[in-house]
Amino acid sequence: MMKIRFGHLAKVCALISAAMLASPATATNGYFANGYGGQSKGMAGAGVAVPTGVLGMAQNPATGVKVGNQAGFCLTTFSPNRDVEIAPGGPLTPGTHKSQNDVFFIPCGGANWKLDDRSSLGAFVFANGGMNTEYDTNFLAGLGAGSAPLGVNLEQAFITLNYARKVNDRLSLGIAPILAVQRFKAQGLQAFSGLSVSPGDVTNRGHDWSTGFGVNLGLLYEASPEWTIGAAYRNEIQMSKFSRYKGLFAEGEFDVPAMLTLGAAYTPASAPQWTITGEYQRIFYGNVKSNANPSAPPNGPLGAPNGVGFGWQDIDVWRLAAIWRTSDKLTLRTGVSYSTEFIKNDGDVVINTIAPATPRWHLSAGGTYKIDERWSFTFSYTHAFSNSFSGANPALTGVAQPVKIRMHQHEIATGLSYRW
């Protein structure tokens, strides 16, 4: 019976993965999603110390035993607003340029089975993150050449197995092998072809694919009836090269950075309907050359190991959230998150015009309505507040032409879950 169910689930995961990679993704902690699934997104991405359903295992695999027998499907709708403001006085086209793609639909889903009272096995698929821009005007064309539209599209889907084990009455551990699949396309970057070790593999080569394997490790410790501590670490995923864009990325690769999350949750004995949770997360963008290598000034040609990157550094994300179980039917959630700056210096702003993921503050609210003993509906809304970075890069543009990148975003997540 288990084999039959996993066979059906494999087909569902394949369909969801295809749907995710057919829809451009966008995210706001750099290019990572701020949480996975509607419950977590309703708490501004929190969930390492509190179970948040099947997709919550993407944050902490150790929560699987508490999730129990459950299947879920979710859909996230993003509406980002991104623009680039360029001052006159240089080769870049002055004015305010707005990215045209502004609505995206990202599905996710999976299931979890209790193997016995102390262990569980799950499988799910979700979008780890991505970035997308499409500008009608190629404001980089003044650097030498450039067709329209100008922009990039990166999509990352993770297909994950999840095993959780309750070691004793307080401690649970989890491990989740990951198959990472990503798709990428660039348009209008002809101005950079002359700066590349492989000029014919920089732009306008259609979609290219890359895969890699990683693992997510989790711990959930119930220190007392009131306090729970959670921790998770996902390793850096070494991705295969983008052969069609080997002249764009450092070493032709776009690896997925490692991520560490630590958190605690408090449920007071005097008010058990309330849970307060806080967490810290670090995303190690600075260890991935295609993210971290500087562009101001460039240390080497595009496509080389020391070639131009986005100039990103590690970011720290802080979250504070609350859960209110108003009744047996309705649970409400809210949360806020803050992340540190990801761009190392002002000069790297110019290269980040093709991926202006600038928001640092997120505010979320949502809830879950229990339809009956088996079915539940989850909903959430997140606002990523507008933020901008400004700078100039004479090494690329020849003069200090000021550039400002800006973004804000609306996000709605919905989900349907089934227990047995």
pLDDT, residue 26, reads: 54
3-state secondary structure of 318: strand
Nearest Cα to Cα of residue 335 among 345, 323, 347, 325: 323
- Within 10 Å of residue 95's Cβ, how many Cβ atoms? 12
Name the phi and psi angles at 5, rounded to 5: -65, -45
- pTM (2 d.p.): 0.93
Nearest Cα to Cα of residue 374 among 417, 419, 329, 330: 419
pLDDT, residue 380, reads: 98
Are 111 and 71 in contact by the 8 Å Cβ rule? The answer is: yes
Nearest Cα to Cα of residue 28 among 413, 412, 389, 383: 383
Task: State the CATH number of the domain containing residue 170.
Answer: 2.40.160.60
Number of domains in the chain: 1
Instruction: Scan for tokens 């690896």, then name that residue.
Output: 255
pLDDT, residue 328, reads: 95
Tokens matching residue 98: 């707005």
pLDDT, residue 2, reads: 44
pLDDT, residue 1, reads: 38
Distance CA 380, CA 317 (A): 20
Domain that holds residue 389: 2-419
| Measured CA distances, 207 to 256, 309, 372 (Å) | 18, 20, 44
Going residue by residue through the chain, which has 420 residues, state the pLDDT in tens, using 9 for 90 and above: 344 354 555 455 555 555 555 455 556 889 999 999 999 999 999 999 999 999 999 999 999 999 999 999 999 999 999 999 999 999 999 999 999 988 999 999 999 999 999 999 999 999 999 999 999 999 999 998 899 999 999 999 999 999 999 999 999 999 999 999 999 999 999 999 988 999 999 999 999 999 999 999 999 999 999 999 999 999 999 999 999 999 999 989 999 999 999 999 999 999 999 999 999 999 999 999 999 999 877 788 899 999 889 999 999 999 999 999 999 999 999 999 999 999 988 889 999 999 898 999 999 999 999 999 999 999 999 999 999 999 998 888 889 999 999 999 999 999 999 999
- Within 10 Å of residue 201's Cβ, how many Cβ atoms? 21
3-state secondary structure of 63: helix
